């Protein structure tokens, strides 16, 4: 059996609403993979993957953080975050220990090496901007629009 080469019907009012190139989800998925791919060679000398970089960014902002708090901030499931944190611990960038205030909570703290890595990481954003070949103003506008959309979607996702 061969695949049909016949085009799907379109409305008289415009393009096929199911055309792949018309899908927001597809554009976002491709953009996400492309941007994360641009980070890969930039983060590699730091010994970080993109998910590990996100964890470090969160900890450079505030530490200690519980694993639950980190998962919330990064919008990841704790089961997804846990192996990332374990790899960062094995790399010497952070420690995990039970909270003295609540032993059910696992606190994540930076090590001296993790804190020191922040200085090197300050070179990441300008390198990413250069790799993407997009003006900073355009990226800031895109970021603002995506953040607004995320803000409108977030209450719907938790309902």
For the stretch 22-40, pLDDT in tens is 999 999 999 999 999 999 9
Could you tell me which of 74, 46, 63 has the C-alpha nearest to residue 97? 63
- CA angle, 55 then 28 then 34, to 5°: 65
Assess whether the previous peptide bond of 64 is cis (omega < 30° from 0): yes
* pLDDT of amino acid 106: 84
Side-chain-side CA neighbours of residue 120 (13 Å): 14
pLDDT for residue 7 is more than 70: no
Q: Which residue has better confidence, 143 or 14?
A: 143
Burial 127-152 (b: 16+ CB within 10 A, else e): ebeeeeeeeeeeeeeeeeeeeeeeee
Grade residue 2 by pLDDT with cuts at 50, 70 and 90: low
Stated pTM of the model:
0.84
State pLDDT tens for residues 39-89: 999 999 999 999 999 999 999 999 999 999 999 999 999 999 999 999 999
Q: Domain 35-121 falls in which CATH fold?
A: Arc Repressor Mutant, subunit A (1.10.10)
Could you tell me which of 96, 90, 87, 88 has the C-alpha nearest to residue 67? 96
């Amino acid at each position: 059996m061969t695949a049909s080469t016949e085009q799907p019907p379109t409305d008289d009012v415009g393009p096929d609403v199911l055309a792949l190139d018309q899908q927001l989800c597809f554009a976002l998925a491709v953009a996400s993979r492309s941007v994360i791919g641009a980070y890969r060679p930039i983060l590699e000398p730091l010994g970080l993957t993109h998910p590990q970089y996100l964890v470090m960014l969160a900890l450079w902002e505030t530490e200690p953080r519980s694993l639950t708090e980190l998962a919330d901030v990064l919008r990841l499931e704790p089961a997804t975050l846990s192996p990332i944190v374990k790899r960062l611990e094995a790399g010497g960038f952070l420690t995990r220990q039970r909270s003295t205030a609540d032993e059910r909570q696992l606190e994540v703290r930076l090590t001296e090496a993790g804190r020191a890595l922040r200085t090197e990481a300050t070179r990441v954003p300008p390198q990413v901007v250069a790799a993407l070949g997009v003006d900073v103003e355009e990226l800031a506008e895109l970021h603002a629009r995506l953040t607004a959309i995320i803000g409108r979607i977030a209450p719907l996702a938790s309902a």
